Structure 1
Amino acid sequence: MPGMPSLHAIAAMAVTVAMFIEFARGRLSTEIVSLLTIAVIAVGLYFFPLPNTQPTDGLQLAFSGFGHYALITICALMIMGRGLVVTGALDPASRILERVWKLNRSVGLLLSLAIAAFLSMIVNDTPILVLLLPVFVSLAARGAMPASKTLIPLNAAVLIGGMATTIGTSTNLLVVSIARDLGMPPMSVFHFTPIVLAAAVVAFPYLWLVMPRLLPDNSIAQSQKVRRFSTRLRVPAGSNLVGKSYEEVVELLPADFSIDEKPDGPFEAGQRLLISGTHESLEEALRLLKGQVAPGWIIDRIRHNASQKRSDIQVVEMVVTADSRLINRTLSTSGIADLYGVAVLGVHKPERPLQFDRDANTGDIRIAEGDVLLVMGLSDGLQNFAQTDSLLQLEGGKVMPRRSKAVLAGSIMFGTVGLASIGLLPIAVAALGGAILMFATGCVKFDRVGRALSAKVIVLVAASIAIGRVILDSGAAEWLGEVMSSGLQYLPPAAVLACIMLFVTLLTNFASNATAATVGTPIAFSIANQLGLPQEPLILAVLFGCNLCYATPIAYQTNMLIMAEGGYSFGDYLRTGLPLVLIMVTTLSGLLVLTYGM
């Protein structure tokens, strides 16, 4: 039996357990618990340094996470993901998946999970999740399943797929490399793929049908009915409407969009038709129909000025006050475009007992007090319009995607993923280079970086790195391994494999995969020799355990990447991840016994 652990090891395990308990209780925010953990480690190691170290070494260990390559990589990937969103680079992929989701949400989710798992078999987990994350957030915004119900299942599918090949994750390569150094024969890329695929068949029903039900809906609830805006649709010569009847195009229109004036015959160039819809449906309909709701010259001027000034085009809602000169005017007689260089895309009229909102001669909409205008333009033009014409700008304005840079942003992202996946550059270097290119090319603005980064994720990553270092350097991981190996001699092979897998899973969820691989692989090799068991299945138990990082947000960087977008708490990972860990451990242990005839 191993002796008592050192005081440092006991303290390291106590701090880890305390952090876990506080995360699970949820009484303190994630940021506070993370910072307190770092502070306890820093103060403790300063007054009680590890053997053969100086007090300042403890401070360096505690705060090393803030400069760690993993944190820098995550921040760079967040910035690149923001670049894909603000340029609309992933809109085509979102629309394709959206069609599947519209046919059947359940089938759409299953197909998405399968695609994610397949891609992560041949490309590193992190780039795959970075590519898919904005797509799923966009799908949620378009009315699919809320992002908070899909991102954890998506992440789990990516992790299961990455487990299936030696190149799926860097941790797999580390375990295989350590095993080869210990004298085992090398493993091919698909050496253990059939085992993982069989386990995935068992696990996917849980990911697909059960896990979304266990997750909260963290989407922002609508505090009021979604506004519908009325406007005139201009049919230019190049519109998809020209020559078609209403019946031919009605099936293509978004659900929240309608053509309120139906022509008697086919649509003709030059027609102006009354339409209505939500902001999102108007935008989608105009893209599909190639129509206009504002004069083409003002739209071209706004885009030209945005390019010249390197500014974002914004769409905001403005309420007409009692002092506004616009009251009783129509959009065509208001002169808004000439005076301010902005375009009014539509007018929302609140319900009133009596209202006369049409011009008797032209039928155009008359503006009244309390109407809400949907206005597009640059920031200075919008402010000038609101101040001069006595309008109240509402919160929640939308920045229009810079679609001219969509191909560039997509190329940067796919180039980064490609360089990292083939091993030409480390993921940290490739991600940093991609983030720099996003800034240099204007895909992401420096003043918008705060929207891409999450303070919660940053301090959580830093705390997890510090915990991992303390667990390893204090000898806590080594002592836990010795305790485990001393009792395994009395268990059947399947239980031995399950215990090794659970031990490594515990390490990977509270320290890091690298720590789990570094500590677990030699221990498994030693246990195999002591118990007379084949070495390969025990090494694979370590490899699989390193990938079972579902139960905490600090277990793997992809877990932390989805935390901010999904609005997740520590308890969400614990509630959904623990059952999946048990499913995978049970299934993989049994499959290893059957495969190797143990």
Structure 2
Amino acid sequence: MEAPTLHAFAAMALTVVVFYLFVRGKMSIEIVSLLAIAIIAVGLYFYPMPHTQPTDGLQLAFAGFGHYALITICALMVMGRGLVVTGALEPAARMLERVFKFNLQTGLLLSLVLAFVLSMGVNNTPVLVLLIPIFVTLAARGAMPASKTLMPLNASSLLGGLATTIGTSTNILVVAIAVDLGMPRMGVFHFTPIVLMASLVALPYIWLVMPRMLRDNTPEIGHGNRWFHTRLRVPPSSNLIGKHFDEVVDMLPDDFRFEERPDGPFASGQRLRISGTHDALEDAVRVLEGQIAPGWVVDQIQRQSASKRQDMKVVEMVITSDSRLIERTLATSGIADRFGVAVLGIHRPDRPLMFDQEQSTGDLRFAEGDVLLVMGLSEALSEFIQSDSLLQLEGEREVPRRAKAWLAATIMGVSVGMASLGILPIAIASLGGAILMFLTGCVKFDRVGRALSGQVIVLVAASIAIGRFVLDSGAAGWLGETLSLGLQYLPPAGVIAAVMIFVTVLTNFASNATAATVGTPIAFSIATELGLPQEPLVLAVLFGCNLCYATPIAYQTNMLIMAEGSYNFPDYMRTGVPLVLIMVVTLSYLLAMTYGM
């Protein structure tokens, strides 16, 4: 057998070095990715591959930035952002939240089964796009941390996508290549029983073991446990009117409470002291259809938001020793009149709250160190902070544009549906959905940076460049030929396992498209030379292409969860390698048994 060419050897060496730097974690992913792109560009410019020009190397190195896979991932991120900022997924999140409150493990198992089943009939990428923002919202509402749920969800959706020929785009590619090589076309559920049996072994690991292997990557936020006091106003439209306290108390979140309760049923115009965390106050107001700020102030802010096309924001700010607000009450401070902002609540750290009993409204008197929860537009909030000597804290958040929730959900549903039914490619459907999100105002142009992750973008571009280099240099073909030399000494199940492991390594370090393109013809020829059935070896390639759990660059859904779960390379290796081994052993045995090998 001939030795690999210099370019093939360089491609393999670069892949190993980049992988080592990713796992070591001493350099940021962005730096390693850009270095890999630079090495490919400079190396192929001065030492081009045979029958190519120096500029061809530059095109190969930088093609990832314009690749359809990267465009698809960015568009999906934008659509996911639209669902979050409009609050479109809150009903689904609240439904799952009730299950998680009943039992965390039951909620996670239900979610994994849901992702698995949906991915069998729908391409698993849009399935995960729908689930990611739901579970990020759930984590913010006190369920399991996103870093402990997104990785298992991704694994379950990949497992479900493995079960049918339409579950992933890679499955379709492998089946198409096999048909071109002379094999009969496989039906949608041709190999589903094999995958279902393997899933009975893999799902317990995904459900019970994988979350325990992942860290809680939730960022420490100092304002998360602040308990704000405010007043609940009962407007004429509230569903509280006519109900008794005991009828509504079970509807409210755990971190919310009434500081005073009415003697009889709730009535229009009542004002009751309440308290809770920021999220709990939002939930309670939505459920009770009440108000925690004067209605005229909120209406004024909403009108200004619509006319200026600016998002409303909620900010936490501290009263300093120089503030004029000290010893004043909310009623006497004139905050709403002067600045056009609404104070939603007051948090007083480590000191008892002092109510002014002379005021009929019972307002709190402000003191140094109090934290105010304030809603308004950016300019008004800035003017309030500067004029009254306040200090803004971290944790600024935008008020969901719930008026556009159904619009955002419809855009996402149509985009996912068209991609799932094969009417449009996922790249076109997602790009069209992202454009509609912009045009309808569900996502603002100046907020795109919050939807996209620079780390993911550079990593995707680098992985595409490395995959192209591995394929075009002949490194992938040389590895396949080397593998075939030793397979004649293995039993049939060992041959299947070896092919699957080879394709799995290729898909985790190059790309699943590369693995499918290289692995399918190799498996076909190995079966012919060894006198084995062709179908189980082709299925070994198909299964191996989908065992992309061990690195973030292996599949686009791995990239999508990376930023949301704050994962790093070792997280994928630690949880993915055991799952790959479980699936390789189980699937190899089942294939050998099914085909009588």
Q: TM exceeds 0.5?
A: yes
Q: Which residue of 2 aligns with 1:394?
A: 393
Corresponding position of 2:318: 319
Deviation at 1:358, TM superposition (A): 2.2
- Higher alpha-carbon deviation: 475-484 or 324-333: 324-333
**Alpha-carbon distance in structure 1 between the residues aligned to 2:327 and 2:38:** 63
Distance in 2 between residues matched to 1:33 and 1:391, nearest whole Å:
42
Equivalent position SS for 2:251: coil
Report deviation, 1:588.
0.5
User: 3-state DSSP class of the match of 1:472?
Assistant: helix
Distance 1:398 1:510, change over 3 A: same
Counterpart Cα distance in 2 of 1:356 and 1:148: 41
Task: Give the aligned partner of residue 292 of structure 1.
Answer: 291
3-state SS in 2 of match to 1:294 = coil
Letter in 2 for 1:359: Q
State whether structure 2 residue 356 is matched by structure 1 residue 358: yes
SS of alignment partner, residue 42 of structure 1: helix
1:296, 1:520 → 2: CA distance?
65
| Residue 171 (structure 1) aligns with | 170
User: How far, CA to CA, are the matches of 2:6 and 2:506 in structure 1?
Assistant: 19
Calculate the TM-score normalised by the size of structure 2. 0.98
Tell me the SS of whatever aligns to 1:376.
strand
In the alignment, what sits opposite 1:422?
421
Deviation at 1:240?
2.3
Deviation readout 1:419-465 (Å, 9 max, x if unpaired): 11111111111111111111111111111111111111111111111
Give a deviation string over 1:149-206, Cα, whole Å, max 9, x none.
1111111111111111111111101111111111111111111111111111110011
- Name the amino acid aligned to 1:153: P
Distance (Å, rounded) in 1 between the aligned partners of 2:380 and 2:135: 34
Asked whether the equivalents of residues 348 and 371 of structure 1 are also in contact (C-alpha less than 8 Å), the reply is yes
1:317-339, CA deviations, whole angstroms, 9 ceiling, x for partnerless residues? 12223333333322223322222
- Aligned-pair identity in percent equals 72
What amino acid sits opposite 2:74 in the alignment? C
Matching residue's letter, 2:85: V
* CA deviation vs aligned residue, 1:368-404 (integer Å, no higher than 9, x gap): 2222211111111212222223322222211111111
Q: Specify the code of the residue in structure 2 equivalent to 1:336.
A: I
Alpha-carbon separation, structure 2, partners of 1:155 and 1:513: 16
Q: What does 1:21-420 align with in structure 2 at a 5 Å threshold?
A: 21-223=20-222, 226-352=225-351, 356-362=354-360, 363-420=362-419
Query: How many Å separate the matches in 1 of 2:485 and 2:324?
Result: 85
Write the letter of the residue equivalent to 1:397: E
1:472 to 2:471 alignment? yes
Where 1:268 maps in the other structure, the secondary structure is: coil
Q: CA deviation at 1:235?
A: 1.3
| Higher deviation after alignment, 221-230 or 235-244 | 221-230
| 2:14 is the counterpart of 1:7 | no
Q: Secondary structure at the match of 2:346?
A: strand
Counterparts of 1:286 and 1:499, CA distance in 2: 59
How many angstroms does 1:224 deviate by? 6.7
Q: How much does 1:223 deviate?
A: 4.1
Distance 2:67 2:190 in 1: 32
TM-score (norm 1): 0.97
1:359 shift after superposition: 3.3
Distance in structure 2 (CA, Å) of the matches to 1:394 and 1:177: 56
Question: What is the alpha-carbon distance in structure 2 between the residues aligned to residue 169 and residue 491 of structure 1?
Answer: 30
**How far apart in 2 are the matches of 1:58 and 1:289?**
62
SS of match in other structure, 2:241? coil
CA distance in 2, matches of 1:497, 1:361: 81
Unpaired runs of at least 5, structure 1: none
Contact 1:357–1:368, Cα closer than 8 Å, also in 2: no
Indicate yes or no: 2:559 matched with 1:560.
yes
- Structure 1 position 455 matched with structure 2 position 424: no
SS at match of 1:275: strand
**Match for 1:414: what amino acid?**
G
Q: Partners in 1 of 2:434 and 2:237 — Cα distance?
A: 38
CA deviation after TM superposition for structure 1 residue 555, in Å: 0.4
Output aligned runs, 1:519-538, within 5 Å.
Answer: 519-538=518-537
- 1:222 is displaced (CA, Å) by 4.1
Give the Cα–Cα distance (whole angstroms) in 1 for the partners of residues 416 and 138 of structure 2: 22
Taking the aligned partners of 2:435 and 2:526, their CA distance within structure 1 comes to 47
Does the Cα contact within 8 Å between 2:221 and 2:395 map onto a contact in 1? Answer: no
Residue matched to 2:498: 499
1:361 and 1:8, CA in 2 relative to 1: closer, same or farther beyond 3 A? closer
Q: What is the rounded CA distance, in whole Å, between the counterparts of 2:18 and 2:200 in structure 1?
A: 34
Count of equivalent residues: 596
| Counterpart-to-counterpart distance in 2, 1:163 and 1:437 | 31
2:543 corresponds to which residue? 544
Question: 2: distance between equivalents of 1:559 and 1:210?
Answer: 19
Cα distance in 2 for residues equivalent to 1:227 and 1:586:
50
User: Which letter does structure 1 place at the counterpart of 2:357?
Assistant: D
1:467–1:184: structure 2 CA closer, same or farther, 3 Å change rule? Answer: same
Once the two structures are superposed, what CA deviation does each residue of 1:1-26 show, in whole Å capped at 9, x if it has no partner? x2211111111111111111111111
In 1, Cα distance between equivalents of 2:464 and 2:595: 36
**RMSD, matched Cα:** 1.3
State which drifts further: 577-586 or 409-418.
409-418
Amino acid at match of 1:291: G
AA at the equivalent of 1:569: N
In structure 2, what is the equivalent of residue 481 of structure 1? 480
Q: CA deviation at 1:216?
A: 1.1
| Structure 1 residue 543 displacement after superposition | 0.4
Which whole-Å CA distance do the structure 2 matches of 1:351 and 1:518 have between them? 64
Contact kept, 8 Å, 1:302 with 1:342, in 2: the verdict is yes
Q: Distance in 1 between matches of 2:179 and 2:374?
A: 64
How many Å separate the matches in 2 of 1:552 and 1:351?
46
The 8 Å contact of residues 359 and 365 in structure 1, kept in 2 or not, is answered as no
What SS does structure 1 have at the residue aligned with 2:314?
strand
Alpha-carbon distance in 2 for matches of 1:224, 1:46: 52
Q: Residues 506-525 of structure 1: matches in 2 within 5 Å?
A: 506-525=505-524
Q: How far does the alpha carbon of each residue in 1:191-235 deviate from its partner, in whole angstroms, 9 at most, with x for none? A: 111111111111001100101111111101244772111111111
| Closer/same/farther in 2, CA of residues 225 and 511 from structure 1, 3 Å limit | closer
- Unmatched runs of 5 consecutive residues or more in structure 2: none
CA distance in 2, matches of 1:223, 1:347: 16
Partner of 1:251, secondary structure, is: helix
Higher mean alpha-carbon deviation, 225-234 vs 9-18, is at: 225-234
Contact 1:330 1:359 in 2 (8 A): no
Q: Which amino acid aligns with 1:539?
A: V
What is the distance in 1 between the residues matched to 2:53 and 2:266?
A: 81
Identify the range of structure 1 (150-159 vs 381-390) with the bigger mean alpha-carbon deviation: 381-390
Q: What letter corresponds to residue 127 of structure 1 in structure 2?
A: P
